[in-house]
Structure 1
Amino acid sequence: MEPIISPPPDPTPYPLDHIVELASARGAGAAPALVLRDITLSHDALGERVDWLAGWLKRTVPESGARIASWAAKGELTCLLPLAAARAGLVHVPINPLLKRAQVAHILADSGAKMLIATASRIKTLDPGDTADGCFVIEEQAAMEAALEGRTTQGPSRADPDTLAAILYTSGSTGKPKGVMLSHANLWLGAVSVAHYLRLAPDDVTLAVLPLAFDYGQNQLLSTWYAGGSVVPLDFLFPRDVVKACARHGVTTLAAVPPLWVQLAETEWPQQSSATLRRLTNSGGALTRDLVTDLRSMFAKADLYPMYGLTEAFRSTYLDPSLVDDHPTSMGTAIPFAEILVLDDAGQIAGPGEEGELVHCGPLVAQGYWQDEARTAERFRPAPPQSRYGGMAVFSGDRVKRDNDGLLYFVGRRDAMIKSAGNRISPQEIEEAATATGLVAEAVAIGVPDARLGHAVHLVVRGTGDKAEDRRLVQELRKRLPNFMQPQQVHWRGTLPLNPNGKIDRTTLHRELLTESGR
């Protein structure tokens, strides 16, 4: 079936929940909207259940604009909530199911969540003071049952598209996770943009392997449904689970981050698993030349879309598949609705081959950080005068270059953020967890280049470092941090180097670790 999204996409934003009505019209007679282990929903049934869930949410949390959090693996409720919360006039706060109690408690407190929907096992890990006063806590299954029993008709939202629809928490280079505020318009136009440049169609089947708490992961749902296609959510343990699911469901669209692509490239793909794939998409880190070569060889009939994005502006660039073979390391050009400027240190447009900061302008720019004016002012600033959109812009802190053909290339990150296995990790979160154990006096988390992860987390600590203490520290960190934040190696030091300002010299430590690893 030919894609129904024809350029140029409609730039008019709508309330986010209107996607279900559009999906019902476009997906009529095509693939189902949502395929779960125990239930398959048509597009009409999807819209009906979104409406029922929205009705229950509105009855339970009547305050317009209240935040409701979800902390669960992929399932019917977590897939429906982004649209149901928007329809109920509420703000959805999805929490990564890999996070543990400390991170979750911060998100609940910072967002002021009025409701937490989570699995029973996760609820049991919380302490009484981890939820704000008046926060209604309910198990995932109980919430869905209540919505289906009540079957209250809510009807499509009439929200102003600029109204806040979601807060996605992402780690910063310092401090605890910060909440990126996304409007109905941000999410709607993100879905339109991706459906357009990926040329999604009603007969497309997307295997949703990415966490739904990430903008990249959530857009798997929204862009596919906008096009009238089908989504198959999958929480997998092994790469072969992905391969089997592709064969079982006739998957056409597979999105992943570089470490997963490395694993998938090392896995055997029977012909029935790869035959239906039309497109592969990558974000969360750059693909290497070798990996691009492997993927193009293994999936010769599928288009490969390298992409670059940041939660503060959803996504900025993509590389057209026709250019991948000749420009395998390029970030490409701006996606629809995005304007990408490269500014030199003087604030002027950088010339071809000149390094500068990537600045994202246009309607995909988020509304700032929730209740954090200081950090909002650092990243969100008035668009440069060269911008045709104007308004607010996101100054990414990432250094890029643009070649003579207008293609962008990533140079490096300005801040100390660690990007491992597609996750943005705050070094300070790891450091605070280490010092909180009482086993070390000081701690510094550093990302060391790693072929599989992009960057591996290394932790440098000040202490005695005997074997018993090392084991205790590792055990404590496993209790306090999610798996993707666990240090691959702990380095014990008697003293840590200081810079002229008396602060720990991270640059020297980073250089030492590179030397020790032979880089």
Structure 2
Amino acid sequence: MPGSPDNPILTLDHLALRGADEADALVLREGIFNYRELRSRVSRLAAWLRHELPERRARVASWAAKGELTCLLPLAAARAGLVHVPINPMLKHAQAAHILADSGATMLIGTPARLATLDEGDVPATCRLVEEPAALAAAAKLGADLPPSQADPNDLAAILYTSGSTGRPKGVMLSHANMWLGAESVADYLSLARDDRTLAVLPLSFDYGQNQLLSTWYAGGCVVPLDFLLPGDVMKAVDRHAITTLAAVPPLWVQVCELDWAPEAAAKLRRLTNSGGALTVDLVRRLRALFPQANLFAMYGLTEAFRSTYLDPALIDTHPTSMGKAIPHAEVLVINDRGEVAADGEEGELVHCGPLVAQGYWQDPQRTAERYKPAPGASVHGGTAVWSGDRVRRDADGLLYFVGRRDAMIKSAGNRISPQEIEDAALATGLVAEAVALGVSDERLGQAIHLVVRAVPGISGAAEALPRRLMQELPNFMQPKVIHWREAMPISPNGKIDRTRLQAELAA
């Protein structure tokens, strides 16, 4: 497993060891932890976890807003020899129940309000619920310390759940090495340093969001987690905490550009990073005008292989729509329909090889085999590769450009959303007989969710009741922007609902 010459691969919890003792590491509402305090709290939380869950590789889930627990648990679970399963705090009880059951988590630590939403049957009999304040208090009371781990870098460290184009979310298995190398890679190409301060606005349950923590701590910098209600909260936090690094997705960047930034606040930012959707040419121009002193990093990634590419900020003005080239530790190939490396300008599938490739989907060999396949013969790394399903092309300078997806995934506000999840929720209400969820191009969201439904005959009030029921069962980012009611669905020659025709009608 490769690493930099002066920095061999270590297990994930060693990231807490990299900062200077008295340097700020984490800024929370309750106060500021320096690196000495960060190490102590990780050690004590890990000791409590080991005491409560002695079985090696047991899964511990978290379902809470950004705070001490969600920031420390990735490292503490790794030190305790456990596997962390973060649940997006925006999810509702049904999605949390699926993740608990699928992962086999034996403990869920969450905010009391979230745990109270779980219905009977949502929590497996083998899973214990612990309220977040109680867990932190118990760790402090136990007062024990657990030294840095000596785990195999290939041991499983986390399961991150991500939506596919069909079915329920699937758990991507990440090793210590996957996450350590991801942190090292990003810290390297972003040139993060000990005086950098990262505003963590993205959910920590996402690989992009969690890497805000890990790459900053790898560099010995400081993280300021923020659960914001309004985009103005982001601007105020940048100014208040002297933020140098801000990661976001295109819809948030649109809102950021609409704010009235004081020049001295905008000037504090050294770098802006984007993933979770492509930047438009107009948005690049607006960001460059608003933050002329900041480097703008356009990036592409997928949870199955962490991150694949980034564009050198020096090229963002001349190549604003490019995905760039492979990040450190990644090998990215464009494979055409003949299974060969595509020529310059030829469209092909993006295939990600190398040590950032995850270990597959948790307890799902069928879907693992569909996405994780032998690397192409041209690969330097060989082994298993992630065949992304994304169609790209490479220009003569080696820069990559996104063409489109092979599947029906909806990408809205930086979230990858399964159409089937939305359709299943609509059908489960008993109000509709057929349902089709589609993504329609939207300037602010990237894609907006449109739901096309046919009502169950004889039911009155379905149009008023369906949005209320969906609000109860689906998180906000999965809510349809528009619900279209049809007397009949278009049918394709093979007898199935003609999704292509519906997509064309909505786009017209």
| TM class, shorter-length | over 0.9
Q: What is the one-letter code of the residue matched to 1:267?
A: L
Alignment partners' CA distance in 2, 1:508 and 1:462 = 16
Alignment partners' CA distance in 2, 1:147 and 1:369 = 31
After superposition, what is the alpha-carbon deviation per residue over 1:318-375, rounded to whole angstroms, capped at 9, x for unaligned? 0010010100000000000000000000110001111000000000000000000000
1:428 Cα deviation after fit: 0.3
Alignment partners' CA distance in 1, 2:366 and 2:135 = 37
Alignment partners' CA distance in 1, 2:158 and 2:150 = 16
The within-5 A match list for 1:321-332 is 321-332=313-324
1:9 Cα deviation after fit: 7.2
After superposition, what is the alpha-carbon deviation per residue over 1:34-62, rounded to whole angstroms, capped at 9, x for unaligned? 00011210011101100000000000011
Q: What is the one-letter code of the residue matched to 1:91?
A: V
Alignment partners' CA distance in 2, 1:408 and 1:228 = 32
User: Secondary structure in 2 aligned to 1:216?
Assistant: helix
Q: What is the one-letter code of the residue matched to 2:180?
A: W
2:431·2:456 contact (CA, 8 Å) conserved in 1?
no
The within-5 A match list for 1:54-93 is 54-93=46-85
User: Secondary structure in 2 aligned to 1:148?
Assistant: helix
Alignment partners' CA distance in 1, 2:315 and 2:429 = 50
Q: What is the one-letter code of the residue matched to 2:461?
A: A
Pick one of 482, 486, 510 that aligns with 2:503: 510
Alignment partners' CA distance in 1, 2:154 and 2:312 = 30
After superposition, what is the alpha-carbon deviation per residue over 1:395-438, rounded to whole angstroms, capped at 9, x for unaligned? 00000010010000000011000000000000000000001111
Name the structure 1 match of 2:406. Answer: 414
Q: What is the one-letter code of the residue matched to 2:335?
A: L
1:494 Cα deviation after fit: 1.3
Identity %: 68
1:10 Cα deviation after fit: 6.1
After superposition, what is the alpha-carbon deviation per residue over 1:155-211, rounded to whole angstroms, capped at 9, x for unaligned? 001100000000000001100000000000000000000000000000000000000
2:430·2:456 contact (CA, 8 Å) conserved in 1?
no
- Classify 1:375/1:103 alpha carbon distance in 2 versus 1 (closer, same or farther; 3 Å): same
Q: Does 1:470 align with 2:463?
A: yes
Alignment partners' CA distance in 2, 1:41 and 1:129 = 39
Q: What is the one-letter code of the residue matched to 2:394?
A: R
Q: Does 1:15 align with 2:7?
A: no
Name the structure 1 match of 2:492. Answer: 499
Pick one of 307, 310, 321 that aligns with 1:315: 307
Name the structure 2 match of 1:359. Answer: 351
1:464·1:492 contact (CA, 8 Å) conserved in 2?
no
Q: Does 1:447 align with 2:443?
A: no
The within-5 A match list for 1:13-52 is 13-23=9-19, 27-30=20-23, 32-52=24-44
Name the structure 1 match of 2:329. Answer: 337
The within-5 A match list for 1:270-289 is 270-289=262-281
Calculate the aligned-residue CA RMSD, in Å. Answer: 1.3
1:467 Cα deviation after fit: 8.7
Pick one of 99, 102, 118 that aligns with 1:107: 99
Q: What is the one-letter code of the residue matched to 1:469?
A: A
1:464 Cα deviation after fit: 7.0
2:22·2:34 contact (CA, 8 Å) conserved in 1?
no
Q: What is the one-letter code of the residue matched to 1:207?
A: L
- Classify 1:41/1:29 alpha carbon distance in 2 versus 1 (closer, same or farther; 3 Å): closer
Name the structure 2 match of 1:212. Answer: 204
2:439·2:447 contact (CA, 8 Å) conserved in 1?
yes
1:464·1:494 contact (CA, 8 Å) conserved in 2?
no
- Classify 1:467/1:281 alpha carbon distance in 2 versus 1 (closer, same or farther; 3 Å): farther
Question: When the two structures are aligned, how many residues end up with a matched partner?
Answer: 505
Instruction: Give the alignment's TM-score, normalised by structure 1.
Output: 0.96
Alignment partners' CA distance in 2, 1:401 and 1:16 = 35
Between stretches 124-133 and 376-385, larger displacement belongs to 124-133
The within-5 A match list for 1:245-260 is 245-260=237-252
Alignment partners' CA distance in 1, 2:403 and 2:181 = 28
Between stretches 451-460 and 499-508, larger displacement belongs to 499-508
Alignment partners' CA distance in 2, 1:208 and 1:199 = 17
After superposition, what is the alpha-carbon deviation per residue over 1:256-293, rounded to whole angstroms, capped at 9, x for unaligned? 00000000001111123212110000000000000000
Alignment partners' CA distance in 1, 2:77 and 2:237 = 29
1:8 Cα deviation after fit: 5.9
Between stretches 310-319 and 11-20, larger displacement belongs to 11-20
Alignment partners' CA distance in 1, 2:7 and 2:235 = 36
Residue ranges of structure 2 left out of the alignment (5+ in a row)? none
Alignment partners' CA distance in 2, 1:509 and 1:148 = 56
Alignment partners' CA distance in 2, 1:464 and 1:290 = 44
Instruction: Give the alignment's TM-score, normalised by structure 2.
Output: 0.98
- Classify 1:210/1:9 alpha carbon distance in 2 versus 1 (closer, same or farther; 3 Å): farther
After superposition, what is the alpha-carbon deviation per residue over 1:77-96, rounded to whole angstroms, capped at 9, x for unaligned? 10000000000000000000
Q: What is the one-letter code of the residue matched to 1:472?
A: A
The within-5 A match list for 1:400-439 is 400-439=392-431
1:11·1:189 contact (CA, 8 Å) conserved in 2?
no
Residue ranges of structure 1 left out of the alignment (5+ in a row)? 1-6
User: Secondary structure in 1 aligned to 2:389?
Assistant: strand
Q: Does 1:149 align with 2:141?
A: yes
Q: What is the one-letter code of the residue matched to 1:234?
A: L
Between stretches 356-365 and 12-21, larger displacement belongs to 12-21
1:317·1:333 contact (CA, 8 Å) conserved in 2?
yes
Alignment partners' CA distance in 1, 2:391 and 2:174 = 25
User: Secondary structure in 1 aligned to 2:121?
Assistant: helix
The within-5 A match list for 1:371-390 is 371-390=363-382
